[in-house]
Structure 1
Amino acid sequence: MLPADPSALAGYRLLGRLGAGGMGVVYLGRTDAGELAAVKVTLADRAERPDFRSRFRREVEAARRVVSPFAVPVLGADPDAPEPWLATAFVPGPSLGEAIAEHGPLPGPSLRVLGGAVARALAAVHAAGLVHRDVKPGNVLLAVDGPRLIDFGIARSADPDGETALTGTDMVVGTPGFLAPEQAEARTGDIGPASDVFAFGCLLAYAATGRPPFGTGAVDALMYRTVHAEPDLAGVPAGLLPLLRECLAKDPAARPTAEALAARLVVDTPGTAADWLPAPVVRTIAERSARMLALPDIDPTNIPAAAPPTGPGRRRFLLLAGGAGVLAAGGGGTWLALRDGDGGRTDGKQPGPPPKTRKWTIGVQADLSGPGKDIGQAQERGVRLAVEAFNSGKDKPFTLDVKVSDDRGDQSRGAAAARVLTSDPDVLGIIGPSHDYTGYAALPAYDEARLPVLTVSAGYNLLTNPVLGQGLSVVRLCTQHNYAALYLAYHALAKSPRPLTRPGLLQDRTDDNYSWQYVVGASIGFKGSGVLPHPRVVPAGAKRLERVLGEMVDAGIDAYVHAGLAPSAVRAARTLDKLGFTGMRIAGQHVYGDEFLRGAGAAAEGWVVGAPIVPPGIRKQAAAFTAAHRARYGTDPAPYTGEAYDAVAMLAGQVEKAFKGGRRPDRTTLPGLLKKATFKGIMGDYGFKEDGNLTGVGTYVYTVRNGRYEPLDWAPSAPPKPAGTPGPSSSPQGS
């Protein structure tokens, strides 16, 4: 209590402050009968502002209209007092946010009790003709007999024309990360009970996973993701996923009602905390309840002494009793907990500064659930293994964590997925994107943030374009598609059983940018050696593919380069096999994979395929990594896992070098350091040009034998020498 604080108010003896905000103070009060209450008192100068008393009166009326065992009841109020006040029952338990932060996500049975109770409370709110508008972890208290919904400070009528709204029509009201799209965009006319249901979905997802479904970070980023991005529901129990997806629908009309949710989550009312909460949370409630019983005698206003306290102190008891989670002092959904100078110690000792753990984050943007999920998941595994390896080292000045953003391989999600990572100040670098076009869509976000982006699979040429000022922070550990095709043309010229005179180039426009880059690169390689290719193009969907291939064989092609994706490569392999074509058949990165082997079957035999990956089994440097992957995941590493591992190791090495004097390095300086660095990784050696592209070849060549990809060597970096002289030696990656 401060010198200016009253010792009593309206029959309540005030024991201490629970919180304070710009609008007033929340005290812990006790009646003569021993009943505890949270007493919210508004400052006198605020009370005299126009319309304030009417707003406060609406809050009181709203709280009184809600009748539910899972909503904190109003014990008394006086909106007309010189300093308007409101008292509600005090719950000596932690907020949901406190419990999750301290003890982690709730288990399935607890989630159903939590969801059922909060849904019943919201149903009562909506039945009273109100919208809560701030359903968040801090506004749900965990009590022995179930959760309690609190704080109706910004509640309003569900009918926007039925009464004057408490805020302006252009003001966003609520807590970012736990509000609906219509709230994020301040679409006042669309805000209604369905908005609370969206927030309920966010709350339940947070309780299940320990993280908000739309991430954390800057407010504008949270708002954007709420409106445009899909929620992150990884880790939510399968039985709750359909319900949460319905709650988090962007369209308010598609969401269920709170009453319907309560019916779907109906559970027996818990008798005690032990019946519905994990043991650690039960202990927290028990400890706080015990401290409530140990409150000392009530004294008048306690004037702070100059000397530090020598005992636990009344205010410290109150803070530990969970009082900072009952009402928002300003009526706007923001809690300011009372803090003593000793950081909450109850032993009377004055500790030094709290220990600071340096823990920074490696971001991963990848397709983890879309058509390219195999590649994206492989890269995520590589990142996690590299982070674990780094953290296990001795005398590390910091540790690393991993934050993942799934773009699902959908170009329209690329920018939003990137901003999940760029808005987090603890993210020092990005591994990914795993896909060409989600990467290109993400470029504006990464260019703006200027943090390093290391991709091991996106070969789209426009990801790095200094002329256009694009991709200035991108460091590419793989070859651009056009250069990869150039090197494969050199391989064909060097390894063909007979000199090539008319190689065929087929461009399948299903992925127009990729196939065009491959045709251009291969054409340059052949023409530079004096060989004129025979190019043909088929429309998207590989329409007329078989007919065009027949025409190419009739025209006398003696090699075939497939500039397209795996589905059309399967058709090409089968067609060429039927036509009896025996020349070299070549394809690139987007054909490499099991889809081609399974689809083409025996017709795939003998095909040459290039990709920016090395088999870990042929690299002795990768032996420990392979063993670690087997121990962790039970399988050998998939393609792109080792390359992602190398990317993290390289980035972490530069962060260590830049770490000076205990200060975090400026992440915007890291791209320049990486581009100047050379690195010996488990999968090869890496070096970079000024534009962030890989020096050397970076394309490994495989041939299909017995239904498997058999590794050959690095593709050559130069055309073969004239006939009669030895062919070029293979160029190591990064040389």
Structure 2
Amino acid sequence: MTEPLRPADPSSLGGHRLLGRLGAGGMGVVYLGRTRAGALAAVKMIQADHAGDPEFRARFRREVEHARRVESPWAVPVTGADTEAEHPWMSTSFVPGPSLAEAVARCGPLPPRAVLILARMLARALAAVHRAGLVHRDVTPQNVLLGPDGPRLIDFGIARAAEGATTLTGEGLVVGTPGFLAPEQAEGRTEETGPAADVFSLGCLLAYAATGHPPFGTGAPDALLYRTVHDEPDLSGLDGEQHTETVALLRACLAKDPAGRPDPEALDAAITEDIPSGTVTWLPDEVVRLMAARASEMLALPGIDATRADGPGPGGGPPGGPARPGRRRLLALAAGGAAALAGGAFLFRALSGRGAEGADGDEKGGAGGGGPAGDAGSGGPRIAVHADLSGPGRAAGQEQERGVRLALEEFNARRGTPFTLTLVVEDDGGDPARAAESAARLAGDPAVLAVIGPTGDAAALAALPVYEEALLPMLAVSPGRDTLAAEALLLEDSRVLLRTRPSDIHLSAPLALMLLDSPGSGYPGVLQDRALGIQSQVSASLINTLVRDNGGATHPRVVPPGVLENEGYGPVVSEMLAAGIDAFLYAGPPEGAAAVARELTAAGFPGPRYTWQPALDPVFLERAGEAAEGWTLVSAFTDPSALPQAGSFVTAYRDSHGTGPGPWAAESYDAATLLLRSLTEGSGGPPDRAALAPMLRAATLEGVAKNYAFSPEGLYEGEGTFLYRVEDGAFVLLGPSGTPG
């Protein structure tokens, strides 16, 4: 966690803008810094009294040179240093996560599989440190950070150089952290302290991770050192077959004789668990939530200073466009809803009492992934729809195009309209590569003033950097994964993204509220189906947390991808019913929701049943049949046919298409209305791209679907979660989630 800078702290160091303090010690201060490209770093600045010591400078210089040779994905890399500066400094990549010590203290011991995976990754980190000619000498839970893509070993050979903790200069000197030292370190046998000492420390660290307590207890340093040399490690709590491999590994690492310990390469080879690449799935949900909270703190950091551009900006815009960011490291965790997890209690309180208030010419390009975006010779101002019109999201994409088209037709037909707008349409087929190509065509047409779309999350993520570079406003109507919210926040100098809906993670709060408020629902079951990946994992975890933090209890269960095609949901549903649950919530795809609904009906389950937006799909109704009756669902889109304020829109839509509007049609109509109002705010012609984006963020709208408002960063702050219930084989809108009945 960061602390504010103090008056005596510098504002910048070594090309880093300093954002806060990460820690301080006798040697110096560690700051959180940001490079000009946007990358975060931990920047260590040496204090003046040490900087004036030639011997210290020589040691610091040597340590930096060694550390730069460490190459491992599981060891934090050195990104810069100046050992000759007035205030010597060094920077390393910043890991936005808690230490292992904090994770175990707050969330409890790790399960056996997680311990083994952690052991394998850290063994590889130590192997790299040893290959670089270093001995870490302080492998402790505090020096392992849990990041969204794996753990990182930090402080190798540098952090305590001035205090002798990493440079062993004399026989009999005890260095490191008591309780996590090898016997040879505990006795000050300097000549015998080498790479094997790190392996012993790793064993202590893993024992702590597996049991929740250090293997040689706690207390006075002298007592810890004595036990390390003379006593056997305390591995209580690791009984049972599931811990067999862990105990064997720990006893090998904790051999008193350095020659009896395996080297890191042998440890790596002996562990059978595979390393999950770039994921958090190997960690318990509680630890993932803690990691998310740490990562979300980074989302509130000060923005990147704008850089000066020479000449006009892309797409004909003015100079001074945003610098292209050089980081995406937090997106993996943000895909799991980091910001919402950290702010879950606030989100719950905010949504639990909020209800909705009532409110009062075409060109196509790229339909097959190519072709110009409209007629470059027409010269008039244009707005664009960037949608999936032919791929898996075509139903939503087509509804969005229809909604925007209707708003534009009304605008152009209105008497006194200051100018006529042309609609340009790009179809990306739901393919991210095509989405980037479509975005490039639209961005390259200076007549296009704003884009509504894309339809899907992957396409939106691919298109956003292109629109960002061109300063072309992008109004995202249907993308809801939290990766897009994180993208905007992490860009921090983003000037183009406007989300017109809450992210998917916000759907967790009304679901948790219903579990708490439903009559007779005192012990709900929450089934997470990983067929939808990290999004269902984070949503289910947040629901469990919100219920428990507000005095309730849940019975959570998880099924892996493919359960529908293999053993089915019968066993897990039976186990949950046998546990005495009185309500059921399912987080997964519509096919899974249908199968679960049939299982609950067959078992005669009488309690309330809930699910979320992915199941708000005809597939759920078709496959579940009568078992779908009575299910309650939460969604970010509404049914305008059920809203009095949307009567004119629904009539106009039916006149054009012969049927009622589908999901996202009303929201797209509102997004276009918001855009058109902003384009006509001035007395002259429409504003250019760069001026339009801040106007959109300052706008509010009482739309046909809901009321809209936005943060200065372009994040959605209006209303927008709705409840549906299945009645007589159809989804029936109940109203905003704040008024479920």
TM-score interval, smaller chain = 0.3 to 0.5
How does the TM-score come out when normalised to structure 1? 0.48
How does the TM-score come out when normalised to structure 2? 0.47
